[in-house]
Amino acid sequence: MESAEKLNNGKKEIGGSSYLNRNCWLVKNLNYAPYKRCQYCEYKFRNCLFLQYQVISLFLIVFIFLLFLLIDKTISALVVITVFALVIIYGYFFNNSTEKIIKANFFQKKAKDALKELTDHLEQRVGEQTKDIQEKAVRLEKLLKMRSEFLDIASHQLRTPTSVIKGTLSMMKEGDMEKMPVEEKTRFIEGMFQKSVKLEGIIDDILVASEMDTANFDIKAEDKIELDKFVEKAVSEHQFDAQEKKLALTFEKLSNGPFKIKGSAKYLEQVIDNLLNNALKYTPQGSISTTIKNDEQNVIVAVKDTGIGIPKTDVGKIFNKFIRGQNARNVYTDGSGLGLFIIKRVMDQHPGSKVWVESEEGKGSTFYLQFPLLK
Amino acid sequence: MPAFKILFIEDDPDQIFLYTTKFKLEGYNFICAKNGIDGLKLAEKEKPNLILLDILLGNESGIDALKNLKTNKKTKDIPVIVFTNFTKKETVEQSLALGAVDYIIKSKVVPSEIVKKVAETLSKKRVK
Ligand SMILES: Nc1ncnc2c1ncn2[C@@H]1O[C@H](COP(=O)(O)OP(=O)(O)O)[C@@H](O)[C@H]1O
Ligand SMILES: [Mg+2]
């Protein structure tokens, strides 16, 4: 082993049993740093063919030298010549083939590395894409869930008035009405009529809301609107309903303007209509005052009523679809819970605009719409 | 024979009116509660023979009401028929798993049919 070490020009590696092989073809020809491990023969004598050859040669030289000293000179001369010839021939081929093996090993290793890098890269790419697809699938699933939730609730909303109408009609058909006092009959017919009106309203709301419920609902908020005139007109259209309920419905400008904004006239009409309808519906007595004002940046519309107000626990939810306030349901059965959802979705489509509510249960509510002023 | 007592947990006044009228015409003692909490209280106090329960009580879930009815010592043996227009599959399965004896869609049955269902459920209960 000692000779091997010498031949090696060896340097012991810390903690390792292998020796640096400076004669290694790789070390010499491929600028392998001497402190690096040879990756093919691992510097170990038993593994390095090239090194084995050198050691065998050394032993042979020593052996021949001994022969010279000890045995008959002519015999030893013959032996020496034969051995040297063998060594040279053997060495030539051996050297060549070692080099070839090491070279082949080297390129094989290189190819393997390249392939590994490629597969690693490919794996990473595939991984990234799988992640992307997974994310998309999750999003799609969420959308589908939203959709089916929408359908579940929408179908419930549609079935409810239908079941009352159908139920009443079947009782009429089966002769139950004859057994009833007149007031009950009237109540039944009145109920049926109201449910059919409700049914129609729900169908309209559902159509609009389902259009808005899609992720790519996008309205063109491009009309130039004089908001004061716009709101005033809507208010005047609700005067008849207000008078029927004996409610004072007013409109007032709290500042001098301008009140010009950019938006979708078609959808904003619906927004203001929904706000006024709610105020009328949820105000048993008192008044509804609509105001508009501006500052340097914004125009703010407020619809203030003296109605039933919104319980604190409901305030955070009422802009969600199909959500109706607890107190609202106790008093007014008609309503789809879509009005404020529609408002929110439309306002979200107006850049820089927002809607919010301030309310106290039992005292009243104020709904605000804010738009950036068009300069 | 004293009239059977039915408790109807439902928040829509028009439906309360419709089914109250029908069940009273058929000779039942029909009482109503507008939400799950009142429903449970009334069930404890009145000990009805059967409960008809809506699942979408506004923002409140009838599933919670069903859970409460089925875990309360005083009410757990009263048969509950879920009677609703909410058709979500999971809700149907969940209700039956929680111990509802039946899940009936309102718009699929006319009042006389639900009366019949109730009568059937009550007679089955008596045979047991
Ligand atoms: N002006 C108001 N006063 C009191 N409550 C209101 C008012 N406007 C809206 N709400 C509450 O918000 C809920 C949602 O309103 P909306 O989406 O328009 O549905 P709907 O009016 O059909 O119930 C109502 O059910 C009610 O509880
Ligand atoms: Mg509304």
Concatenating the DSSP letter of every residue in A202-255 gives: HHHHHHHHHHHHSTT------EEEEHHHHHHHHHHHTHHHHHHTT-EEEEEESS
Asked, for residue B118, whether it belongs to a domain, the answer is yes
Q: Domain range holding B83?
A: 5-41+51-123
Asked, for residue B90, whether it belongs to a domain, the answer is yes
Q: Is the pLDDT of residue A22 over 70?
A: no
Q: Is the pLDDT of residue A43 over 60?
A: no
Mean pLDDT, to the nearest integer, of A356-362?
Answer: 95
Please give the ipTM for the structure prediction.
0.89
Q: How confident is the model at residue A259 (pLDDT cuts 50, 70, 90)?
A: very high
Asked, for residue B21, whether it belongs to a domain, the answer is yes
Mean pLDDT, to the nearest integer, of A44-67?
Answer: 67
Tell me which chain B residues have a C-beta less than 8 angstroms from the C-beta of A329: 11, 58
Distance A187 CA to ligand 2 centre (A): 24
Distance B43 CA to ligand 1 centre (A): 31
What is the CATH number for B11?
Answer: 3.40.50.2300
Q: How far apart are CA A111 and CA A290, in angstroms?
A: 79
Q: How far apart are CA A298 and CA A245, in angstroms?
A: 33
The minimum-distance atom of ligand 1 relative to the CA of A321 is 17
Q: Is the pLDDT of residue A14 over 50?
A: no
Q: Is the pLDDT of residue A15 over 70?
A: no
Asked, for residue B46, whether it belongs to a domain, the answer is no
Nearest CA among A42, A49, A59 for reference residue A6: A59
A64, HSE (Cβ side, Cα atoms, 13 Å): 17
Token digits for A357?
């509510």
Q: How far apart are CA A91 and CA A54, in angstroms?
A: 9
Asked, for residue B98, whether it belongs to a domain, the answer is yes
For A372, phi and psi rounded to 5 degrees? -70, 140
Helix residue spans in chain A (DSSP H): 2-8, 25-29, 49-70, 73-173, 182-213, 227-237, 239-244, 265-281, 312-315, 326-331, 339-348
Q: Is the pLDDT of residue A306 over 80?
A: yes
A171–B110 CB contact, under 8 Å: yes
Q: Does A156 touch chain B (CB under 8 A)?
A: yes
Q: How confident is the model at residue A164 (pLDDT cuts 50, 70, 90)?
A: very high
pLDDT at position A198 = 82
Domain total for chain B?
Answer: 1
pLDDT at position A298 = 95
Whole-angstrom CA distances from A281 to A241, A247, B15, B116 are: 10, 11, 21, 38
Asked, for residue B128, whether it belongs to a domain, the answer is no
Query: For residue range B82-108, what is the model confidence (pLDDT) as tens digits?
Result: 999 888 888 899 999 999 999 999 999
Q: Which residue has the higher pLDDT, B23 or A205?
A: B23
B117, HSE (Cβ side, Cα atoms, 13 Å): 20
Q: Does A311 touch chain B (CB under 8 A)?
A: no
Number of helical (H) and strand (E) elements in chain B, helices listed first: 5, 7
Strand partners, A354: A370
Asked, for residue B74, whether it belongs to a domain, the answer is yes
Asked, for residue B107, whether it belongs to a domain, the answer is yes
Q: Does A160 touch chain B (CB under 8 A)?
A: yes
Q: Does A168 touch chain B (CB under 8 A)?
A: yes
Q: How far apart are CA A290 and CA A302, in angstroms?
A: 6
Q: Which residue has the higher pLDDT, A186 or A64?
A: A186
Query: For residue range A207-247, what is the model confidence (pLDDT) as tens digits?
Result: 888 888 777 778 888 899 999 999 999 999 999 989 988 99
Q: Which residue has the higher pLDDT, A145 or A263?
A: A263
B21–A179 CB contact, under 8 Å: no
A167–B110 CB contact, under 8 Å: yes
